[in-house]
Amino acid sequence: MAMAMRAAAAFFSPSASPSTKQQQTHAVFSPRRGSTRRIHHRRLRAFPATELTLEELNPSVALLRKTAEAVGDFRKTPIYIVGTDCNAKRNIAKLLANSIIYRYLCSEDLLEDVLGGKDALAAFRESDEKGYLEVETEGLKQLTSMGSLVLCCGDGAVMNSTNLGLLRHGVSIWIDVPLELAVTDMLKSKGAQAISDPDSFSQAMAKLRQRYDDLKERYAVSDVTVSVQNVASQLGYSSIDSLSLEDMVIEIVSRIEKLIQAKAMMEAAGKPE
């Protein structure tokens, strides 16, 4: 429990004594401030080999224009990204934040930073699930009060009804990514030998599949589900490799805009004349 409280303290104060990793996480892309930095007109592949920094994820002018048309409908509404953790999920969340001029935070990054890395966080979660969920709950209570935020959530955000309820303070998005991508990302962190070993891949896939099966109904409680494979199919791509990060962001923004409009219509219909 002492470890849980220590983690919670850092989770509540993400700006206190930030590490280099946190400084990258907290940066906000703001093209409206007269920056002379060039925006590269290139398709950002949805599944690059690594997690990119916020600074590398510059939205194109075309994407900024498209998101600007929609953002007025949900300005200041916090957005929570859930789903299996992988580079694609994080990169999409970061580009989304940069495109709609929101702050980006990742709950797992904050906990990893104070606990000492991914392995330490995994050990904490496995040895003290109750403490892990308490930390997630207290952190969400603090972060859900923030507007104009894209929060990339760990699985603790969907593992009990209390945390799921806190996500109702904003719009929750399940980015459903093929598990093969998440397994590949997981094995890359363990070195080249793990990637090339078929047994390692099979074991990691079985473990991740079990976790996905345990949580998919909770992921599905989200306000919006955006499936990578479905978006590729809708756009006429023969493979998800043809998808770009911008394709995913445009789909997410479009779905949020429709959701906010539908909620506004329902509220208007319920008001007495």
Q: Is residue 13 part of a domain?
A: no
The encoded tokens of residue 222 equal 């989200």
pLDDT at 257 over 80: yes
> Considering only 36-45, 68-77, 174-183, 212-221, which range has the smallest mean pLDDT?
36-45
Domain harbouring 198, CATH code: 3.40.50.300
pLDDT at 131 over 90: no
Most confident range, picked from 3-17, 130-144, 174-188, 254-268: 174-188
Distance CA 155, CA 204 (A): 17
pLDDT at 95: 96
Q: Which helix (H) or strand (E) holds 237?
A: none
pLDDT at 212 over 90: yes
pLDDT at 90: 95
The encoded tokens of residue 155 equal 């699985």
Distance CA 232, CA 268 (A): 35
Q: How many domains does the chain fold into?
A: 1
Residues 6+ apart with CB under 8 A from 267: none
Q: Is residue 227 part of a domain?
A: yes
Q: Is residue 38 part of a domain?
A: no
pLDDT at 37 over 60: no
Q: Is residue 238 part of a domain?
A: yes
What 31-35 contacts at long range (C-beta under 8 Å, 24+ apart), as own/partner pairs, is: 31/64, 31/101, 32/101
Mean pLDDT computed over 64-82 = 86
pLDDT at 27 over 50: no
- Is residue 141 very low, low, confident or very high in pLDDT (cuts 50, 70, 90)? confident
Q: Is residue 70 part of a domain?
A: yes
The encoded tokens of residue 120 equal 């330490």
Q: Is residue 17 part of a domain?
A: no
| Contact call for residues 132 and 156 (beta carbons, < 8 A) | yes
pLDDT at 266: 81
Counting Cα atoms < 13 Å in the Cβ hemisphere of 215 gives 22
Q: Is residue 59 part of a domain?
A: yes
Mean pLDDT computed over 192-213 = 84
> Considering only 26-35, 102-111, 147-156, which range has the smallest mean pLDDT?
26-35
In the sheet that holds 224-227, the strands lie side by side as 103-106, 149-152, 79-82, 171-176, 224-227
pLDDT: which is higher, 248 or 13: 248
Q: Is residue 117 part of a domain?
A: yes
Q: State which residues form the domain around 136.
A: 55-256
pLDDT at 194: 62
| Short-list 110, 121, 137, CA closest to 16 | 110
pLDDT at 10: 58
